Amino acid sequence: MDPIKAWWIEERAKRAIEKLVAHDFKALYVKTKEDAVQEVWKHITPKQKIGVGGSLTVRGLGILERLEAQGYTLYDHWKPGLTKENILELRKSQMTSDLFLSSSNAITLNGELVNIDGIGNRVNSTNFGPEKVILIAGYNKIVEDVQEGIRRIKDVAAPLNARRLNMDVPCAKVGKCVDCNSPNRICRVIVIHERKPSLTDIFIIIVGEELGF
């Protein structure tokens, strides 16, 4: 990466982290996704039950395969071959896992987390339930404020995810939010963390690479 851009990314991440820490979150900047995996692994302990939110970022780290190979219980509703009943059960189990791994749709320079869900299991698990939550996000998720975060999600992350999932929604066809009322709509629940929830341990890792949508 160009050293000037790397400097800009790191400085921007540090600004967000300073505010996140002031808001009671634990937060850290790392340069690569390999560094992020090393940080996550420091919080893995034997016999943990680990929930996994809907996140391309987490799945792009390669950590889930390593956990599964070592016999950890994974509540991952993206595994192929699951029935609707299995998926629902796993989503519910995520909310009582020992460790919940996911990402954040947006992180503001004011130290806030912005997330939009269609079902709510991911955002629910970042509020209350799991003993520990780790959120890994690429620098591309950093935004100026909450409004920019919502706009980023609706005009970038949501259309891309809807397209990836072959969802029959307008944003998957036009590439931006049209505020639909489709039964397949994936933007239904907005959660903004202004501060860390008082009973939930949240650790945020910002990575100096573009990760996820």
Angle at 211 between CA 131 and CA 168, to 5 degrees: 90
Query: What residues does each domain of the chain span?
Result: 3-207
Work out whether strand 26-30 and strand 201-207 pair parallel, antiparallel, or are unpaired.
Answer: parallel
Instruction: Give the Cα separation of 35 and 152 in Å (integer).
Output: 26
pLDDT grade for 26, boundaries at 50, 70 and 90:
very high
64-94 pLDDT, tens per residue? 999 999 999 999 999 999 999 999 999 999 9
Domain covering 3-207 in this structure, CATH number: 3.40.50.10420
88-116 pLDDT, tens per residue? 999 999 999 999 999 999 999 999 999 99
In this structure, what are the phi and psi dihedrals at residue 5, rounded to the nearest 5 degrees? Answer: -65, -40
Is a pLDDT exceeding 90 seen at residue 1? no
In this structure, what are the phi and psi dihedrals at residue 132, rounded to the nearest 5 degrees? Answer: -145, 145
Give the pLDDT confidence score for residue 204 in this predicted structure: 98
139-170 pLDDT, tens per residue? 999 999 999 999 999 999 999 999 999 999 99
Is a pLDDT exceeding 90 seen at residue 4? yes
